[in-house]
Amino acid sequence: MGFLDSVSELCDWPHFHSHKKIKKKQLQTVEIKVKMDCEGCEKRVKKSVEGMKGVTQVKVEPKQSKLTVIGYVDADKVLERVRHRTGKKVEFWPYVPYDVVPHPYAPGAYDKKAPPGYVRNVFQDPQAGELARASSFEVKYTTAFSDENPNACVIM
């Protein structure tokens, strides 16, 4: 609380008890996956959130099917607004850069539909990609008997 806020509360002392604290929204980045086939779809998706209260920046990447909204907004409200205004299937951006995931090509993390350089976010979904989240200790024991490991145990 700053000095000016303190002074303004003192000046408004008769109404002090009826004064409500307004919780300010945090600046956040909302990334949404929405399929865009043409320039018309791109414009419609962009227009669906441009007029929304609190939005400061909108970025559309049609080749990645990605919409990025920056502003003082609620992520769920942005998602619902895009779904309602465009009539398209939308979801939060399910991908992360492949270098963030310990084992990006393990089942559950690798996705053929992902843009280049991205894999599924296995940290959000506990069911998908247990091997993708595996520690080096677990990988060491799972690859001990692998045919691709030149130092694997050989049973004759």
The CA distances from residue 68 to 60, 75, 136, 140, in Å, are 6, 11, 34, 39
Asked whether the predicted pLDDT for residue 71 surpasses 80, the reply is yes
- State residue 11's pLDDT score: 62
All structural domains of the chain, each given as residue ranges with its CATH number in brackets, are 28-92 (3.30.70.100), 98-144 (no CATH)
State what percent of residues in the chain have pLDDT above 90: 38
Burial class (CB in 10 A: 0-12, 13-18, 19+), 28: middle
- Alpha-carbon distance of 5 to 26, in angstroms, equals 19
Nearest to 76 by CA among 86, 90, 87, 64: 90
| Higher pLDDT, residue 87 or 95 | 87
- State residue 20's pLDDT score: 57
Q: What is the pTM of this model?
A: 0.63
Q: Look over the chain and give the mean of its residue pLDDT values, rounded to a whole number.
A: 77
